[in-house]
Chains A and B, each alone.
Chain A
Amino acid sequence: MSVVFKANETFRDDFTFRNSPKAIRRFPLPFVDDEYMYSVNIEPHTPGPKGSVTEFAIDVDEHYIAECKDREIVLLEDPLRYQALPHMMSAQWDVLELIMESMSRDYPELFSLTKTGNRWAWTNRPLGIHTEFTFGDAATLPREPLDYITRQVQGDWVVMDQREGDLFAEAGMVTTPADWSLDFDIGMTFKEWHGPVPLAHELSVFTRALKFLLNLRLNEPVRRLNWTMTIHPRLDTSPEFYYRWGKDRASVTPESVADDAHLRVELQGLWRLPRSNGIVFSIRCYLISMRELASVPKWARRVHRVLKNLDPALVDYKGLTRYRDTVVDWLAPFDDGAPTSPGAGPD
């Protein structure tokens, strides 16, 4: 495969981000049905079909360079988006190893990793990086291992320590959050961290998910999809900068909705880490505008139905209150009432 990077697209200011027709076809729609409610929708993170976002453990797509650039912009202004508690150092190396090994194995034309004992050499061609370092010796890297490697991969990364029968979120790189803050949440238990999510606690989703994750095994990663909506293709919808992007939610009109309103899907992957026995949680964000989405007739029908009948508590929690009806109205003409085929993929 070869990826043609859209290196200069933006996720802020003039928002030049767009999906190619190929990127639209592989978009991970999270709706397997015409209605949506929370569930423990965890499945093994095994290789998906060729060309899909789950073909490889870590997906590198046409937005790779632009997303890495956007992360640098966020960190420059708000360095606390990267944090790691002191006892997380061995987990940091675990994550660096996972990312370097996956990316170099699955995209050999883009990334390479050579090891001579503990001496490692890492080459990242798209970003023009070459680093030689000693695995396990943080002084040989320009930044902490987790900070160093997560600047070279798409998606947010949170590392959880496992102890006392719980998972504590104690390190992470979070520059593309759907309205949650690493700086506020760092150190929290699994349920504290997910405290603000409505309905799911009552459905025991987090009790069951925690129990499942405490038993997650090495080399048997899992994944799930989650979703929300965002106005403009903005990756950094952090609470820290809510005072900047909040007003976007009130700006949607019938004329602007097709290009401004985006479905935002998170492909969440979880891996057990070998040395630290922690778990790393990756939250990879895919964006698609309503106009792009409606180019797939099945998806326009399905998303219309999901949004129209969404539980009011979810409409509120996901921040859709001000513009959900405008989106539903725009999608309505695409929904002829025909049944949709099983599964989430395009017809």
Chain B
Amino acid sequence: MLITGIKSKPVYAPLAADVGGRYHVLVGHGVGAEQLLRLVDELRASGGSSRASRRMLYATDLSAAPNAMATVREADVAHVRVFENIPALLEDFRTLLETSRMGTRLYVAGPEAFMGLVMRIANEFNLNRDEIRAEECGSRARRVHCIHCRAATESVTTNIVECSGCRRWLVVRDHYSRRLAAYMGVMVDAEMPGERPAVKDVFV
């Protein structure tokens, strides 16, 4: 099983204000708070975005700065919601997109696994790739989709991982699906049963 440079992995860049947008939706997780607040300042400074045009959704975790929640709540946006976990944020995000209008720009900041889940919903609503900006920060842990049983294993930091569904040991292939918001996991010892490399932290 060859692991080379990842061609299907999305390429991210630092968040920057898109002044062509009429509505700005900012979504972040964990340490991403810092990027979102920086972007709010940038949108304000650009003069092309009113407070009413900006909305923010944020989910916290232990990686965030201790005051992140409080700072986010005070951001200069029309609407801010703070969540204790990612699934709650995603549900709210979906509702928000259902009522979103033309000219909406989406900004995402957080770990790649989180961004993938947000992007997947954005894709369902046919947001074009040029309407989305994303900045990767925080944990490099991967979401892994088992190609054999189709279960997802969350927060994978190691070269091989036991599948949460079928319990096979999977090697994490460098192949990423935006639709599934996950990397492909393939049985590591299918050719020689029991022949497995040592478990090592590689995505931290």
Interface size class of A (residues with CB under 8 A): 20 to 34
Q: How does the 8 Å CB contact mask read for A277-317 relative to B, with 1 for contact and 0 for none?
A: 00000000000000000000000000000000000010011
Say whether A346 faces chain B, with CB atoms less than 8 Å apart: no
Report how far A185 CA is from B183 CA in the complex, Å.
Answer: 11
Contact at A185–B193, with CB atoms within 8 Å?
no
**Contact check: which of B2, B168, B178, B184 meets A187 at CB < 8 Å?**
B178
Whether A239 contacts B147 in the complex (CB less than 8 A), given A192-B7, A194-B7, A322-B191, comes out as: yes
Contact at B2–A186, with CB atoms within 8 Å?
no
Query: Which residue of the partner chain A has the closest CB to B147?
Result: A239
Contact at A242–B174, with CB atoms within 8 Å?
no
Say whether A240 faces chain B, with CB atoms less than 8 Å apart: yes
In the complex, the number of residue pairs spanning A and B with C-beta atoms less than 8 Å apart equals 78
Query: Which residue of the partner chain A has the closest CB to B174?
Result: A196
Q: Which of A185, A191, A317 has most chain B Cβ within 10 Å?
A: A185
**Contact check: which of A196, A241, A242, A313 meets B7 at CB < 8 Å?**
A196
B190 CB contacts on chain A under 8 angstroms: 242-243, 245-247
Say whether A126 faces chain B, with CB atoms less than 8 Å apart: no
Contact at A313–B175, with CB atoms within 8 Å?
no
Give the total of B residues in contact with A, Cβ under 8 Å.
Answer: 30
Say whether B24 faces chain A, with CB atoms less than 8 Å apart: no
Whether A198 contacts B184 in the complex (CB less than 8 A), given A187-B179, A240-B148, A246-B190, comes out as: no
Listed by A's residue number, 28 A-B pairs whose Cβ atoms lie within 8 Å are A183-B150, A184-B147, A185-B177, A187-B123, A188-B177, A191-B7, A191-B8, A192-B7, A195-B6, A195-B174, A195-B175, A195-B176, A196-B2, A196-B8, A239-B184, A242-B148, A242-B187, A243-B148, A243-B187, A247-B190, A247-B192, A247-B193, A249-B191, A250-B191, A250-B192, A313-B4, A317-B2, A322-B191
B→A interface (CB under 8 Å)? 2, 4-9, 123, 128-129, 145, 147-148, 150, 168, 173-180, 184, 186-187, 190-193
